[in-house]
Amino acid sequence: MGKLPIDEKIKLTSGQGNWHLFESALLEGRSINVADGPHGVRVYGKAVDAGNFLNQSNLMPATLFPSASAMASTWNKELIENVGKIIGRECRYYQIDVLLGPGINLKRSPLGGRNFEYYSEDPYLTSTIAEAFVKGVQSEHVGACIKHFGLNEQETMRRFVDVKVDERTMHEMYLYPFYKVIKNAQPWMVMSSYNRLNGVYASESSYLLKDILRKRWGYQGVVVSDWGAVQDKVKSLKNGMNIDMPGPSAFESKVKDALQQGTLTERELDESLKPVFDLHKRIQTTQKLKDINFEKHHQRAKSVAEEAIVLLENDGVLPIKNHQTKLGIVGDFAKHPRINGGGSATVRPYKQEIPYDAFKEVFDNIDYAQAYQEEETTDALIAEAVDVAKASDIVLFFTGTTKATETEGQDRPHMMLPVSHLNVFNAMRKINKNIVVILSNGSALDLRSVRPHSRAILETWFLGGAAGKAIVDVVIGAVNPSGRLQETFPYMVEHTPHYPTFPSLETVDYSQDLIMNGYRFYDTHRYEVLYPFGYGLSYATIDYSDIRFVNASDNQSIISVEVTLENHSDIDAYETVQLYVGKNIEYLIKPEKELKAFEKVFVRAKSKAIVTIKVEREAFETYDTRRQQFVVYNGCYTIHVGRHSRAIYATHSVDITDKVTFHPAITFDYPIKFLKLYYPHWYEYIETHYRPLRWHEQEAPIWRILNSYQRHKGIDDVILKQLMKDIKADLDASNK
């Protein structure tokens, strides 16, 4: 670094193109190559201009896995780690050094336009799936880049919106996945977000990039900006940004001026470059793969698709065992499936399965009707769909969101299925009651129009290249559906906690999100939902029994939960056991319960399986703003064990007494009753030495009560001042 001229250093703080960085004639070794995306690697066969980034004719083939929302719906950590490993191998085949993914922001509203690219509304599930993905990618000596750091939960005004949030909500909810993935998987790169946080752009926030990321979390990797996120490059360099992407940068002259004027030092420039030098050295040892087995990878994508599909409704019409059934397949998505959400996630699939073709391979008697094209239909298309419905035993209706309503760069205008699709559905249901709805979408939908008139509903998300056979295998029962919802499906958008403030234009308030997001909101307030968090049906009947809670013997866990699962059916099945923890500590704001552990278990037909889940100490943590870290507070906790957040089969209370005692940061302005709650020795001292407090005095400030005693009891000034000094010292010591 000391041998590089200053102009070269300035150049290296930016990308040297859209997809590579750290390239210089003065550096040994090749440049660092990066590529989107979280569902499969996007690689260009030739140089393209800005207008052709997403044109698939310019892309090299890769395995297109199901979307992030689908991956999280598998609730299968080992499976997703394998996904990361496969994508890592394909990165090595194309000599990509860092994969720009996964996205680990939370789903704050079903209207989020990029929800398909994010895992969950829940920070624990998000962090668990993301950690598995990152470990898989990096097991192949390829870096993962977690994004977008932080609090980038809407697409509307994403480059400028100012997120207002308190410290505890930020750390317990929105930074939690980043914290856990960095702690447990050490991703090579972190991408900063576009938005502002409490008035400061994330790409130039010393609080985010220095105080939290580097100092508190000890992160040693590279921080890269989202593409075009840097507003002030000098501020970004001084406050923790390493690379401004893409490049070449338009801000180089600003950096030179700052160096000449002394507002930026060469030492600060060197500090910015050090993590990139480390990454550059690291990637030189990664061996490019000469061969790759795309077909094998595609089969693994099919396995993910099978486990991602969630059976929302079924009155027994599924599975369709009789392959002679006259099947009507209706909907353009059956022949032109929605496989991805677009934008940064765009990939050219090595192989693209077509649901209609996959059904043709199994069923001999199929009729097809297009019904619609994107969001348009006609009387003729509806009539054709009705004719198919009349002639069919069962109708499979393919529907979902369209490119116009769900994609990166914009938020969804509503949660409804397209009006044209509903017109087709309503026409068919009048003459055929045997309709199975097959959904393709990235986030929750308002299904009130179709639910009462459907015999079954399959949520398939965006299934990527394997969007055909996986659906068929679930429909015919060759695969038992095992997907579980990673987000709540409310009845309507008006029921969502942030309606009508999502999306916001200039400022968005996250301050109540500890209990105002996803199932935390619905379960705490006892609001009815269409489908709860963690929900999913099965063809198998699996019972929970003999649920036992055993105090753990190791230092990392507090308790172990043992559950016996019995499969009464003739089909092998997965069951996902979910553990939630609730905290009941006075004056500590918490939702009713939070997901803190889960295990996906394979249970063979007519058999039992016993699963043991350790509930680690981290499950009981709360972010303490005074200590600026996660702590376990003393108190009574409830462990909830069940199938989903609304199907709890056993609860157990745990008392923790050897950790930190929670109390608010009490001052003399607090009601004196808080002394009784948290400093009873002072409360007893006052009542013993002066007089018992009356009921109406409990809400009076501490200072006022003491002043009142002085007036009515004639307390000496010196004694009173000393008493107040002693109490204040106790308060200050506890408040640190």
Q: What is the mean pLDDT of residues 318-335?
A: 97
Mark whether 548 and 430 lie in a shared domain: no
Task: Report the length, in residues, of the chain.
Answer: 736
- pLDDT at residue 502, as a whole number: 95
Mark whether 342 and 484 lie in a shared domain: yes
Within 13 A of 234's CA, how many CA atoms are on the CB side?
14
- pLDDT at residue 49, as a whole number: 66
* Domain coverage including residue 564: 542-656
Res 734 pLDDT > 90: no
Res 735 pLDDT > 80: no
Report the C-alpha gap between 552 and 560 in whole angstroms. 6
Residue 618 within any structural domain of the chain: yes
Q: What are phi and psi of 446, to 5 degrees?
A: -85, 110
- pLDDT at residue 553, as a whole number: 75
DSSP assignment string, 525-562: TT---SB-TT--B-SS-EEEEEEEEEE--SSSEEEEEE
Q: Indicate the pairing of strand 507-509 with strand 162-164.
A: parallel
Residue 377: CATH number of its domain: 3.40.50.1700
- E strands, 141-228, where? 143-149, 162-164, 189-192, 196-197, 200-201, 222-225
Percent of the chain with pLDDT strictly greater than 90: 89
pLDDT tens readout for residues 664-706: 889 999 999 999 988 999 999 999 988 899 989 999 999 999 9
Mark whether 483 and 631 lie in a shared domain: no
Q: Which residue has the higher pLDDT, 712 or 488?
A: 488
- pLDDT at residue 569, as a whole number: 97
Mark whether 688 and 569 lie in a shared domain: no
Which two structure tokens, joined as six digits, stand for 106? 């939370």
Boundary (domain end) residue, out of 489, 524, 559: 524
Q: What is the mean pLDDT of residues 193-198?
A: 98
- pLDDT at residue 552, as a whole number: 82
Residue 153 within any structural domain of the chain: no
Known catalytic residues are: 226
| Contact of 575 with 641, CB cutoff 8 Å | no
Report the C-alpha gap between 66 and 471 in whole angstroms. 12
Report the C-alpha gap between 66 and 76 in whole angstroms. 14
Q: What is the mean pLDDT of residues 47-69?
A: 84
Please tell me what DSSP assigns to residue 488.
Answer: -
Residue 492 within any structural domain of the chain: yes
Mark whether 510 and 595 lie in a shared domain: no
Mark whether 652 and 677 lie in a shared domain: no
HEC profile of 426-451: HHHHCCCCCEEEEEECCCCCECCCCH
Percent of the chain with pLDDT strictly greater than 70: 99
Handedness of CA 267, 271, 272, 274 (dihedral sign): positive
Res 337 pLDDT > 80: yes
Q: What is the mean pLDDT of residues 216-230?
A: 97
Residue 573 within any structural domain of the chain: yes
H/E run at residue 608: strand 608-616
Res 132 pLDDT > 80: yes
Q: What is the mean pLDDT of residues 41-60?
A: 80
| Contact of 455 with 317, CB cutoff 8 Å | yes
Distance of CA 220 to the CA centre of its chain: 23
Residue 644 within any structural domain of the chain: yes
Q: What is the mean pLDDT of residues 243-272?
A: 94
Mark whether 469 and 600 lie in a shared domain: no
Res 146 pLDDT > 90: yes
Boundary (domain end) residue, out of 656, 685, 710: 656
Alpha helix stretches (DSSP H) within 110-215: 123-138, 167-169, 176-185, 206
CB atoms near residue 175 (< 10 Å)? 24
Residue 572: CATH number of its domain: 2.60.40.10
pLDDT tens readout for residues 450-469: 999 999 999 999 999 999 99
- pLDDT at residue 50, as a whole number: 62
- pLDDT at residue 56, as a whole number: 76
Q: What is the mean pLDDT of residues 317-343?
A: 96
Q: What is the mean pLDDT of residues 136-162?
A: 97
Mark whether 518 and 633 lie in a shared domain: no
- pLDDT at residue 51, as a whole number: 62
**Reported confidence tier of residue 716, pLDDT bands at 50, 70, 90:** confident
Boundary (domain end) residue, out of 524, 555, 571: 524
- On whether the pTM is more than 0.85, the answer is yes
**Partner residues linked to 397 by β-bridges:** 330, 437
- pLDDT at residue 732, as a whole number: 87
Q: Longest C-alpha distance within the chain, in Å?
A: 99
Report the C-alpha gap between 250 and 10 in whole angstroms. 12
Res 733 pLDDT > 90: no
Rounded to the nearest integer, the mean pLDDT of the chain is 95
Mark whether 515 and 591 lie in a shared domain: no
Residue 197 within any structural domain of the chain: no
Res 565 pLDDT > 90: yes
Report the C-alpha gap between 160 and 173 in whole angstroms. 21
Domain count for the chain: 3
> What is the amino acid identity at position 369?
A
Please tell me what DSSP assigns to residue 243.
Answer: B
Mark whether 498 and 607 lie in a shared domain: no
| Contact of 398 with 369, CB cutoff 8 Å | no
Mark whether 612 and 641 lie in a shared domain: yes
Mark whether 519 and 395 lie in a shared domain: yes
**Reported confidence tier of residue 57, pLDDT bands at 50, 70, 90:** confident
**Reported confidence tier of residue 279, pLDDT bands at 50, 70, 90:** very high
